[in-house]
Amino acid sequence: MRAAAASLTALVLLVGCDTGDDGAQQARALVEAAFAEKVAPGLVGVEAVGKGVWYRAEALNGACLHGKEWAFSDTAGSPRLSPTYAQQSVVQSATEAGFCIGLGEGLNMTTDKVNKLDDAWVVDTVFTMERPAPWWECVDEGQKRFPVRVLAGSDGALSIEHEPGLWGGACPDPMPTPANLQRSGSRVPAKQPPHPATRAEVIEAVQRLDDALWAHNLRAVLDATACYNLYEDKPFGACSGAEVVNVGPMPRDGGPRRSDGPPWTNNALQSLDDIGIPFPDPNDRTMFYAQVKAATGKRPRRTIAVQWERKAWRVVGAVQRQAQGLTSVEYLLDLDRPEKRGIFDRRVGGEDIDVHGHPPEPPPQ
């Protein structure tokens, strides 16, 4: 990835006084060698800065995304965008300031024209992707073709002013392996646990989820979650990394980090000690509930659910309401309340209703 700020690469090439074709070829060779040294195999990402509704992605063309109905722009042609729910699975990692969008694997660079400008050679670079993700189409052409300045010193040494590569911001290089990009689901768990869930087992399941959220390990988060995506045809397991990337852990010493989204607890519990003794669902032998906050006044108690799946207890989460910005998994579902469990089951069964049991509102005309 190209560094955002100017930095001299460690690669320096000593040349003679020739400033003709030999100098141009040596500048070209230096840029190609720098790219070959730096590029890493794997998923390539670019950063979209922001943690709320709108994200600024300088490497992407907002008009292209808006035209393809992959993202909304706050104004026509603006780089401030918000991905649609259908497309948000391209978001596969978090940074302190925002998120990383996967663009594909196998980034290649070729060099085009080389021109001399004052004391520098300007090498035009062209980037292509061997296995592009859909959003590669909307990378700005100014990013796919980028001039690299190679400085010529008085001693005949050539050095690169900017490392060649696609601008990625603060995204890791390479990006983590994508987590369930296709939102593929499976059958709802039916195998009964060997024994009722214990409080220790519930705490262990919650700790596993919270630790994965703290580590920003999206695959581990999904593995710790019995996840129901109520907007997919096969809801169980149909959650991608994007549905958990903006979910934060419980605040730890020092408070929330910039990279964390809102905590999964909704501040209903302050520590694992708040988790009560689990009790079974009256009809579903795979699911148990535990109180995490007692009732106060007219406010009912809050509960989490765990489900026995693949020989382990996992915290139940649901994608149950689409949001502006990123649509995320919710974990405090209160499914022990019959009315909430009834709506949940109807939606799992394919009924087109919202979280309150009402038909969805028609889109604005």
- Per-residue pLDDT tens for 55-94? 998 889 888 998 999 998 876 656 788 999 999 999 989 9
Query: CA-CA distance, 361 to 365, in Å (whole number)?
Result: 12
Q: What pLDDT does 76 receive?
A: 61
Query: CA-CA distance, 98 to 45, in Å (whole number)?
Result: 12
Name the DSSP letter for residue 335: T
Name the token pair of 352: 């087109």
Contact 348/226 with Cβ under 8 angstroms? Answer: no
- Per-residue pLDDT tens for 125-163? 999 999 999 999 999 998 899 899 999 877 778 899 888
- Per-residue pLDDT tens for 246-284? 999 998 887 788 899 999 999 899 899 999 999 999 999
- Per-residue pLDDT tens for 313-349? 999 999 999 998 999 999 999 999 999 999 999 999 9
Assign domain 199-348 to a CATH class. alpha beta
- Ordered by start, the domain boundaries in the chain are 12-160, 199-348
- What contacts 264, CB < 8 A, 6 or more positions away? 209, 210, 213, 247, 248, 249, 250, 317, 329, 330, 331, 332
- Per-residue pLDDT tens for 23-45? 899 999 999 999 998 888 899 99
- Per-residue pLDDT tens for 177-232? 888 889 999 999 999 999 999 999 999 999 999 999 999 999 999 999 999 999 99
**pTM for this prediction:** 0.88
Among 100, 255, 246, 67, smallest CA distance to 174 is for 100
